[in-house]
Amino acid sequence: MRSHVVVIGNEKGGSGKTTVAMHLAIGLLRMGFRVGCVDLDHRQQSLGRYLANRLAWVERSGVSLPMPSVVVVSPSNSDLRSEALAEETSGFNRALAELGGTCDFVVVDCPGADAPLARHAHTYADTLITPINDSLLDLDLLGQLDPVTWELKRAGIYSSLVWELRQERRKAHKSGIDWVVTRSRLSALADRNKIKLAEVLPQMQRVLGFRLAEGFGERVIYRYMFLWGLTVLDLGQSGIAMEMTRSHQSAREEVCSLLANLWLPRVNERLDRI
């Protein structure tokens, strides 16, 4: 498989995984790369719905928008947990093999829970992106802190999982995982919570083995475009009447900044295309 696999993972829901996955996929497409997408959230299927809305808007409006290849991994109907996992794992492997032969990048959106299939997908990640909200509750998944000294006491449940899956990947694929943590839904206000996270996260990354990158701010535009299947990178040719505001431009800059900081192969040399 020659494609670069990017997994968007976090065991907590509502952290902005699908928003990152969608903007990453469209950004790569607009750079001229071939992109495949896999949505592993069987219940919500947020990424799948996003892309279905995009296709429906293209057909309705006649606007030409770049589209990724999409493969759906259907849930198993087996009552036996072991059989269900085996079927779903096999389906994911087939999807990855299918997309890996034709795409430069494959973007995998995982559910916000500790699901066995999501664990399996992590072992194929060349790059793992973990968005977290700007809150101590989300931070606890990465590492548990002392409430007085704010020192890291131990790894959180998700960091421990990533460590285990990194070892599994090295055994199976002879390579590691580049783990990137992004802060999502950043507010413009410099409250105590935001200041503390800015102090603690750089210290945690050295111990837990991730890289830190700025994510997306708390902007209405990221959620508003879902019904059309659009992103902030599509506003210039979306087919809807919407003025490009300063906030929209800032959102575009956030997306471009994240793409630059992911260190994906051949991406930084093409950033000027979006």
| pLDDT for position 174 | 80
What stretches of the chain show up as alpha helix (H) in DSSP? 17-30, 46-61, 81-100, 116-122, 136-142, 157-173, 192-208, 220-224, 246-261
φ, ψ at 155 (rounded to 5°): -70, 145
Amino acid at 248: H
Amino acid at 176: G
Average pLDDT, the chain: 91
The angle, 0 to 180 degrees and rounded to 10, between the axes of the packed helices 17-30 and 246-261 is: 80
Q: How far apart are CA 58 and CA 99, in angstroms?
A: 22
Identify the CATH number of the domain in which residue 171 sits.
Answer: 3.40.50.300
Q: How far apart are CA 262 and CA 150, in angstroms?
A: 28
Amino acid at 19: T
Tally of domains within the chain: 1
φ, ψ at 111 (rounded to 5°): -70, 160
Domain containing residue 155: 4-273
> Residue 66 CB: number of other CB atoms within 10 A?
18
- Which DSSP helix (H) or strand (E) runs through 106? strand 105-109
Q: How far apart are CA 27 and CA 261, in angstroms?
A: 13
| pLDDT for position 219 | 87
| pLDDT for position 162 | 96
User: Mind listing the pLDDT tens digit of every residue in the chain (274 residues)?
Assistant: 589 999 999 988 888 899 999 999 999 999 999 999 999 988 888 999 999 999 999 999 999 999 999 988 888 888 888 998 899 999 999 999 999 989 999 999 999 888 899 999 999 999 999 999 888 888 999 999 998 888 999 999 999 999 999 999 998 888 899 999 998 876 655 667 777 888 899 989 999 999 999 889 888 899 889 999 999 999 888 888 788 889 899 999 999 999 999 999 999 999 999 8
Q: How far apart are CA 86 and CA 170, in angstroms?
A: 22
Give pairs for 51-59: CB < 8 Å, separation 24+.
51/22, 51/229, 52/229, 53/226, 53/227, 53/228, 53/229, 54/228, 54/229, 54/230, 55/229, 56/229, 57/228, 57/229, 57/230, 57/239
Structural contact between residues 127 and 265, judged by C-beta atoms closer than 8 angstroms: no
Q: Specify the pairing of strand 127-133 against strand 4-8.
A: parallel
| pLDDT for position 188 | 59
